[in-house]
Structure 1
């Protein structure tokens, strides 16, 4: 591959990663069945902090087949599968019998490069861009260790590397501290929002009857994906939504991948559900995301979604949606292998039957609170994005000899 590399200061030179690392070895914990091992898998690495945060202690006999790569203090581990290509860490602690997943490439620095210099470099956007052409495989996109090691790295003297590492340690530590504080602010804002919403509805319980949610809504579970839609379909303006389309920051169901028309609906007996319904995930890990979405038009949706339509003689659609904001679905799921929300769980949810006038006031108060928190979080996210951009800029400058 033809690589376009930038000019380096005098005394620096381009080399490949393969030139600055030593060969590492594989292990087989299964041969030491009763020995305690420290296993580092992909999920053990925090991709935002570039750190090993959750290594697991396991007996050799319980080791997964991917537990093969020997690692040691000051090794750099680089996840080689998408979407984990940013799961990178410097092993900063000495673990008892450490072994890493084969999903990592282990980069062990030789005498040409400092481990911390190597670590900082492979976290750069430059490296991601260099390896992108090598990421192959449609069903399991990944890069081989060999192709990763083809990535070019600028090498100055060890003294200059040490100076760069010291500067990066100082600057990036300050930025990471600021990022942690901002992330704590997001957590605090979300907690305040949750408490504020709960208080609004708790205050109603002293003045109004509290009834099972199931008594004031119609429960509409989704349908199996029609065979007609298996390979996609777009013919009309009636949406068909999948649970995956709840995985965004919109409060309404938008951007359907499948659309159909009334003729198709009649011919294939595709059930339509009413606009104004509040949709929630019905089964699987999506429940734990606690997403709720409003249906803005008559539509159909898959069997992993449950819709709740208000009995408008008792409560409004908007009041129902506001109430559902206070519900943590994880508290209601069956503790089975696959989390599920069923009709019985809707029975367990208790809603104050406020007057129609009071419901409108509640909706206004809830929307105002939600809007305030969204504005706060948007500003925090802007600051987080700015700090991440600053980190990238500092790293870029460092490896051009401009720091």
Structure 2
């Protein structure tokens, strides 16, 4: 049984009063990333004295960390040789798992990371409000493990495929950030406006026949694939519409809000909740609609939509309109303040030159996303094969 190969399965702890802002890092579920790595930009800490007294939960190389409760129960990460923290511990919401020397720890991590391992772990899930798994999840783990030599060989195959997909993802992320780099290089800080470009209020660069407006108040039940698609704030991420998450409303409901019907090249700007999520409407959403939490901006001839889209995403510009965001539970910016936002309007020829560069970036991103999808499919395929025994040359059953 796999559970017989586990040397340690333990959680850490934190002192009363919670985590500190300085000291020794204390890792919680939020610090484990969904790709099996770590998110360490917003660390929490325990005191050096408290850490030195800990008897459990001190993280070491080759540990497997598992979220034990909450919304991300079962998420796993591996502490490799490249782990950047020299000293840290897990808190009470994370398991630290250590295997014996008959099991390759990275191979065991990949097993728990796989769909098979995840499904088996979560068979122990219990609780409603804040559910989680107990140490009893070990008894549900059931998989034939090959010899240590084979584990090492298969781990290398999975690591290479994993590295390939992560490198592809990094390239996509770099290209996501490239438009803002180009914007800053060509136009500088749009608030300081050192180039002394003409400035106007946002409303002055909007098509008078299609004024700034929000959309549907109550779209009703999703009737996809029928009806009319409508874009929600949560559908906009990284400057793009996530088409898989878009819902559809009835033609009758959408027709009541013809004022907010979309055309290709329109700009969407979220005005409630996550204020400032921005994207350009692609041709596939011609005739779609939006909700009351999003404003539609239809450019007139004085402004290029590619330029306006990136201006609205600029960090200096977004910091400047924070003063207009109001509300406690649900933050928002009203249309009146949005319309009056001052924007720079460089010469149209310069805007179009910028747009040409952004189009080239977008074309390259299409290629990179296809490569990313292929590398992700390859990794997932190999992961599935690995724990079905289809990558094994000399299979020995774990006992």
Summarize deviations over 1:174-205 as a string: whole Å, max 9, x none: 44554454344334434544455677889xx9
Summarize deviations over 1:288-340 as a string: whole Å, max 9, x none: x54343673374522x2122233x4x448xx3355314542543141778875
Give the direction of change, closer, same or farther, for the CA distance of 1:193–1:222 in structure 2 (3 Å limit): closer
Give the direction of change, closer, same or farther, for the CA distance of 1:170–1:301 in structure 2 (3 Å limit): closer
Residue equivalent to 1:20: 6
d(CA) in 1 for partners of 2:244, 2:392 = 49
1:70 match: secondary structure: coil
Q: Tell me which of 347, 351, 369 is aligned to 2:341.
A: 347
d(CA) in 1 for partners of 2:308, 2:215 = 25
TM-score (norm 2): 0.66
1:291 match: secondary structure: strand
Summarize deviations over 1:88-125 as a string: whole Å, max 9, x none: 223766854623241x3332335764544433432233
d(CA) in 2 for partners of 1:68, 1:42 = 20
State whether residues 90 and 96 of structure 2, in contact with CA within 8 Å, keep that contact through their aligned partners in structure 1.
no
Q: Tell me which of 71, 89, 102 is aligned to 2:78.
A: 89
Q: Tell me which of 126, 130, 152 is aligned to 2:142.
A: 152
d(CA) in 2 for partners of 1:263, 1:46 = 39
Residue equivalent to 1:43: 30
Residue equivalent to 2:65: 77
Residue equivalent to 1:108: 98
CA drift of 1:39 comes to 0.8
d(CA) in 2 for partners of 1:151, 1:31 = 36
Mapped pair 1:220 → 2:198: no
CA drift of 1:85 comes to 3.6
d(CA) in 1 for partners of 2:376, 2:362 = 21
State whether residues 33 and 59 of structure 1, in contact with CA within 8 Å, keep that contact through their aligned partners in structure 2.
yes
Residue equivalent to 1:9: none
d(CA) in 1 for partners of 2:9, 2:243 = 53
d(CA) in 1 for partners of 2:258, 2:113 = 49
Q: Tell me which of 189, 193, 206 is aligned to 2:175.
A: 189
d(CA) in 1 for partners of 2:29, 2:106 = 20
Summarize deviations over 1:351-399 as a string: whole Å, max 9, x none: 34639xx98x779846742552233323431443255246526743779
The alignment of Structure 1 onto Structure 2 pairs a total of residues equal to: 362
Residue equivalent to 1:279: 268
Mapped pair 1:307 → 2:296: yes
Show structure 1 runs of 5+ residues with no match: 1-14
Mapped pair 1:297 → 2:287: yes
Q: Tell me which of 371, 375, 384 is aligned to 2:366.
A: 375
2:387 match: secondary structure: helix
Summarize deviations over 1:207-235 as a string: whole Å, max 9, x none: x9654433122663536844xx5x63769
CA drift of 1:18 comes to 6.3
Give the direction of change, closer, same or farther, for the CA distance of 1:309–1:58 in structure 2 (3 Å limit): same
TM-score (norm 1): 0.65
Show structure 2 runs of 5+ residues with no match: 395-399
1:46 match: secondary structure: coil
CA drift of 1:167 comes to 2.9
d(CA) in 2 for partners of 1:239, 1:23 = 48
Give the direction of change, closer, same or farther, for the CA distance of 1:237–1:315 in structure 2 (3 Å limit): farther
d(CA) in 2 for partners of 1:195, 1:52 = 24
Give the direction of change, closer, same or farther, for the CA distance of 1:253–1:171 in structure 2 (3 Å limit): closer
Residue equivalent to 1:246: 236
More deviation in 371-380 or 250-259? 250-259
Q: Tell me which of 313, 316, 323 is aligned to 1:328.
A: 313
Give the direction of change, closer, same or farther, for the CA distance of 1:182–1:365 in structure 2 (3 Å limit): same
d(CA) in 2 for partners of 1:263, 1:398 = 52
Give the direction of change, closer, same or farther, for the CA distance of 1:133–1:329 in structure 2 (3 Å limit): farther
CA drift of 1:40 comes to 0.6
Give the direction of change, closer, same or farther, for the CA distance of 1:98–1:136 in structure 2 (3 Å limit): closer
State whether residues 45 and 51 of structure 1, in contact with CA within 8 Å, keep that contact through their aligned partners in structure 2.
yes
d(CA) in 1 for partners of 2:358, 2:14 = 56
Summarize deviations over 1:122-145 as a string: whole Å, max 9, x none: 223321243455556777675444
State whether residues 23 and 108 of structure 1, in contact with CA within 8 Å, keep that contact through their aligned partners in structure 2.
yes
d(CA) in 1 for partners of 2:153, 2:242 = 44
d(CA) in 2 for partners of 1:201, 1:97 = 43
d(CA) in 2 for partners of 1:116, 1:350 = 52
Give the direction of change, closer, same or farther, for the CA distance of 1:99–1:139 in structure 2 (3 Å limit): closer
CA drift of 1:402 comes to 2.7
